[in-house]
Structure 1
Amino acid sequence: MTGKKHYLVLLFLSLFVLAAGAEANSYWQRISQGFDNRAFVYEQRLEKDTERVEIRASIPQIKGTLNEVWEWEVNDRILECVETFLQEVEEAAELAPAESFAFPYAGYVNYEVTLNQGGLLSLTLTFYQYTGGAHGMTYLEGINLDLTTGKTLTFDEVLGSPQERELLVAVINDRLAEDPQWFFIDKFDEFMIGEEQGFYLQPAGIVVYFPLYEIAPYAAGIQKFVVPLQ
């Protein structure tokens, strides 16, 4: 009887470990092995030119999900985010002294669909603004959606286990070792991961990115690191 109990305990623990592993890697499996989604992304454009400012925006809008209300809410949030950014650029142009306009101010927005399969949709928004000075600034925003649940994926959900974090740290440190002249830091560790760490999905893996000036100078650009799916 004791041996049977021991066997059942081991069996339960084994099943628990397998279930936990399957749950932890389920997003990875859907990224690499999922079928194409029914949903798609179409473009909405905004353009405006004045003496003071140039606006060019290519805005993603989602269509074809099974929940039209949720779809509308997501599209509205994306549109609001872009419009707020462009409004700030326009307001800066209106408030700037006329003599400061060597070049018109500019606000550009573009997007890229990086994954649309396995019930997951990932895309990036790239924001560029020029409001005077030596150069403009570029910002990247990853949007990662689970179309089956209506959830926005978090960093911890796709790269939350110790093994996954170790892999990310190793990928970053390999790049630091290859090109140390391009970085502010000599070594990366898990504690440098931000509370709202930016990432997006693509078939080859999970891309983790860092804004301009965070770990590298402006000339090095936005730093992106691909964590391969294993």
Structure 2
Amino acid sequence: FNIDLLNGNELSLKDLFNPGVDYINILSNYINNKISQTPELFYKDTVVDIPDSQAFYITDKGIVLFFAEDEIAPSEAGIQKFLISFEEFGQYINPRFYCNPQNVIRRRKK
């Protein structure tokens, strides 16, 4: 579970992205692109469509989407993880979860 420490509610992928961002399409395309770079590691013709309920966790580097053993690759390949880096996808991420110099509002002293 991913819990919002401010209100105690469970976080979903939708919560991590700015309103109006087609995060499902962005994530699905990114992961399918990664899979296509090393197709021999995955089941033949693997294509993922990320659901709203996709398993994930947050690190200081980004959002990690992961798949259970034997879900998209043979069990001997282990749990498949894909980093959605804040650096690469920061423009789509809700600034509450990713602060950088471009999305921090600076107030001038009067």
Given the two structures, how large is their TM-score scaled by the length of structure 2?
0.65
1:149 aligns with 2:7: yes
Separation in 2 of the partners of 1:210 and 1:203? 20
Between 176-185 and 204-213, the greater mean CA deviation after superposition: 176-185
In 2, are the aligned partners of 1:171 and 1:226 still within 8 Å (CA)? no
Separation in 2 of the partners of 1:195 and 1:171? 16
SS in 2 for 1:144: coil
The CA deviation at 1:167 is 2.8
Question: Counting helix residues as a fraction of each chain, which structure ranks higher?
Answer: 1
Residue aligning to 1:224: 81
Separation in 1 of the partners of 2:75 and 2:64? 20
SS in 1 for 2:2: strand
SS in 2 for 1:168: helix
Separation in 2 of the partners of 1:185 and 1:157? 32
1:167 to 19, 26, 37: 26
Separation in 2 of the partners of 1:157 and 1:213? 28
Given the two structures, how large is their TM-score scaled by the length of structure 1?
0.33
Kindly report structure 1 stretches of 4+ aligned residues shifted beyond 6 Å.
none
2:67 to 210, 214, 227: 210
The CA deviation at 1:213 is 0.9
Question: Counting strand residues as a fraction of each chain, which structure ranks higher?
Answer: 1
Residue aligning to 1:201: 58
In 2, are the aligned partners of 1:144 and 1:153 still within 8 Å (CA)? yes
Separation in 1 of the partners of 2:52 and 2:32? 20
Separation in 2 of the partners of 1:185 and 1:165? 23
State the Cα RMSD in Å. 2.1
The Cα offsets for residues 161-216 of structure 1, whole Å up to 9 and x where unpaired, read as 31x33331232122212210111153535xx3245311000111111111011111
What letter corresponds to residue 166 of structure 1 in structure 2? N
The 5 Å alignment of 1:101-112 reads: none
Structure 1 residues 180 and 166: alpha-carbon distance in aligned structure 2, compared to 1, 3 A threshold: same
Instruction: Name the count of aligned residue pairs.
Output: 85
Structure 1 residues 194 and 185: alpha-carbon distance in aligned structure 2, compared to 1, 3 A threshold: farther
Separation in 2 of the partners of 1:157 and 1:186? 31
SS in 1 for 2:3: strand
Separation in 2 of the partners of 1:168 and 1:193? 7
The Cα offsets for residues 65-85 of structure 1, whole Å up to 9 and x where unpaired, read as xxxxxxxxxxxxxxxxxxxxx
SS in 2 for 1:175: helix
Separation in 1 of the partners of 2:3 and 2:44? 32
The Cα offsets for residues 113-138 of structure 1, whole Å up to 9 and x where unpaired, read as xxxxxxxxxxxxxxxxxxxxxxxxxx
